[in-house]
Amino acid sequence: MEHEKRRALLRKLQEVDFVLVELNLYLDTHPSDLDALDQYNHCALEREAIRSEYEERYGPLMHFGHSSNRYPCGWNEGPWPWEI
């Protein structure tokens, strides 16, 4: 059950990240499209909320000081992405 909940929240993060990478590449070739820029900044805020919820429950997504580490359930523990 917990496994399913984790997968669902991860999926939410992957979905908003998909929108962000699409807008990111689009803005690379259309830097003056202000609507796309608005959408990008809006999604970035949405992403931040999901990321923070995910990390609170399942541990840090990033290292090098970009997420808070902890013990237990910290960076060094699995499952790693290829094991989920």
Partner 1 sequence: MWIYEKKLQYPVKVSQCNPHLAKLLIEQYGGADGELAAALRYLNQRYTIPDKVKGLLTDIGTEEFAHLEMIATMVYKLTKDATKEQIKAAGLEEHYVNHDLSLFYQSAAGNPFTATYIQSKGDPIADLYEDIAAEEKARATYQWLIDLSDDPDINDSLKFLREREIVHSQRFREAVELLKEYQGQKKFF
Would you count residue 28 as binding partner 1 (CB under 8 A)? yes
Q: Which of 1, 21, 34, 45 binds partner 1 (CB under 8 A)?
A: 21
Would you count residue 11 as binding partner 1 (CB under 8 A)? yes
How far is the C-alpha of 13 from the C-alpha of 55, rounded, in Å? 11
Q: Which is nearer to partner 1, 42 or 84 (CB)?
A: 84
How far is the C-alpha of 16 from the C-alpha of 24, rounded, in Å? 12
C-alpha closest to that of 78 among 5, 6, 1: 6
C-alpha closest to that of 10 among 75, 80, 66, 77: 80
Q: Which of 32, 35, 56, 82 binds partner 1 (CB under 8 A)?
A: 82
Residues engaged in binding partner 1 (CB under 8 A): 7, 10-11, 13-14, 17-18, 21-22, 24-26, 28-30, 60-64, 66, 75, 80-82, 84
